[in-house]
Chains A and B, each alone.
Chain A
Amino acid sequence: MLDVTRIKADFPILGREVHGKRLVYLDSASSSQKPSAVLDAMDRVYRNSYANVHRGVYTIAEEATSAFEAARARVARFIGATAPEEIVFVRNATEAINLVAYSWARKNLSEGDAIVLTEMEHHANIVPWHILAAERGVELRWVRLTPDYRLDVAELERLVDGARLLAVSAMSNVLGTINDVRPLADAAHAAGAHVLVDACQSVPHLPTDVRAWDADFVAMSSHKMLGPTGIGALWARRELLEAMPPFLGGGEMIRDVRLDGFTPNEVPWKFEAGTPAIAEAVGWHAAIDYLDGLGMDAVREHEKTVTAYALRALEERFEGRLHLYGPLDPEVRGGAVSFLFDGIHAHDISQVLDEDAVCVRAGHHCAKPLMRTLGVPATTRASFYVYNDESDADALVDSLVRAEKFFAL
């Protein structure tokens, strides 16, 4: 069990008040807050060891370089990668997916090829493929949802037949649904397709083993897992990275440049053009240390408990007037809880909640195709993380009671 009181104290922002009330932060699925350990680690780099990486021979440049590369190794270990070289630092999960779309897919896919996506994908795992489809005449196929908000895997075999790529989220940022990646990957591989996992929501909340998934590409962002913005990673099998052409060109990513051409650097630096996010890498390292200190199994157990509590509280308090969008079984879902009231718009709900310093997200959550499937323009989403406990779920319910009264018909 996590000691949430102690954890809350590790996050300076959670000590502040908004509108004279204790801040109740329930929007970690959008971006998480940062513990002092992360802020201090970044501050230390800038104060003591800051210089550009992979360039200088002087001491602080070496310190910065080794801290940067240590972060790469830390990310690799955290997700079960075989080697640090399989980690390409990017800005965020969106860039990781675009890297695959621009480098791997443009080299390997052409007119008539197919990519399989799911209806629950975030725009980050849809739009890069729409762009490719429009440019190359690639066909996009969609795995549909079941009535209980899971992937309709009965259709999978037919959909992956003849496809080149299955790109699927490991956890939905709207429904909370956890997708069992391994069988999906097995089906895709059996059909000769590669597998990209959008692990942006799962890596922060579940123990991750990219090899157990048998994935080919995995995308993630630091900012959703207690780390800073501006850094994320693409993990890919090494032989795939070796065979992929560079995406962005510039410094860092070359071994040699001549008037008549260039020779790219080794992986992963081949994909890291320009000065990278150095302090952010160090901050991400500290965030992973913090999460591992709690233990990812304990993180998962804690979130299951709090999510189950919140789901029960919402159902009991509002009965049929509140609709939950997502599986009700905590075993197959994470802590992103989407809901709607009859006749009250998600925006209006979150406006009232803001007055109580309860931060939730209202909108389409960058998943408009999913919203269309659900038949709603928007939902309100509360999402729980390591620093949330039952008291935060209670604050949510109390504020929702007020919102419902305010808009009572």
Chain B
Amino acid sequence: MPGLEDLYREIILDHYRSPRNRGELPVPPAHKVEGFNPLCGDEVVLYLDVDAGNGQVRDVRVSGQGCSISQASTSMMSAAVKGKPLSEVRKLIRAFKALMSIHESKLEGDGGGLDEDGLAPDGADGNAALDDVRLGDLEALQGVVKFPVRIKCATLAWNTLQQGLDEVATPSPAG
């Protein structure tokens, strides 16, 4: 059976205890997006400052509450995407979901915002293009896959990020 050490790697606990990029950003110019895990009540609030001009995530701040996995994943995500071009961030989202054994149901597209999440067994469904994505510390979250009910904890921040980027790309009338 997978042990606790597979799940709670030291780097995860470190991010949980000292989360990076905590706080808020003024809205606007930043965009605020909230994600919930209805199963456990975990909540992630992201403040995204996206530079539409050069297509870059200028800054990101995080608030909300949750378990060590969701908080660590959020913290790592914020560190990984800050200052990155949007195209790279989109790739990172897909690469992270692939790490969680979640593969986009449509084959590699243009990274547009309409991807549907599809739960699929590990497979070679077009993720070759993600091979060059460097996950770095995020790889520590790989052990989560062995604890299926916790996958949602790890992906909460990433789904919320994806939603936020989609909203920035196509602002709704309600703002």
Contacts and interface: CB of A to CB of B under 8 A. Distances in A.
A19 B42 CA distance: 28
Contacts of B153: 347
Interface string B58-88: 0000000111110100000000000000000
A351 interface: yes
Interface residues of B, number: 21
Contacts of B39: 363
Most chain B CB inside 10 Å of its own CB: which residue of A348, A351, A363:
A348
A378 B71 CA distance: 15
A371 B41 contact: yes
Contact of B41 (A351, A378, A406, A409): A378
B68 A377 contact: no
Given A348-B8, A351-B4, 7 more contacts: A348-B68, A352-B4, A362-B40, A363-B39, A363-B40, A377-B66, A378-B41
B4 A345 contact: no
Contact of B8 (A19, A377, A406, A409): A406
Interface of B: 1, 3-4, 7-8, 13, 17, 39-43, 65-69, 71, 147, 150, 153
A302 interface: no
Interface of B is mostly: mixed
Nearest to B40: A363
Interface size, A (range): 10 to 19
Contacts of A292: none
A408 B153 CA distance: 21
Contacts, number: 46
A78 B3 CA distance: 45
B4 A364 contact: no
Contacts of A364: 40-41
Interface string A358-375: 000011100010010000
A242 interface: no
A377 B4 contact: no
B40 A351 contact: no
Contact of A345 (B1, B7, B67, B147): B67
B68 A407 contact: yes
A345 B68 contact: yes
B131 to A, nearest CB: 32
Contacts of B1: 19
B147 to A, nearest CB: 7
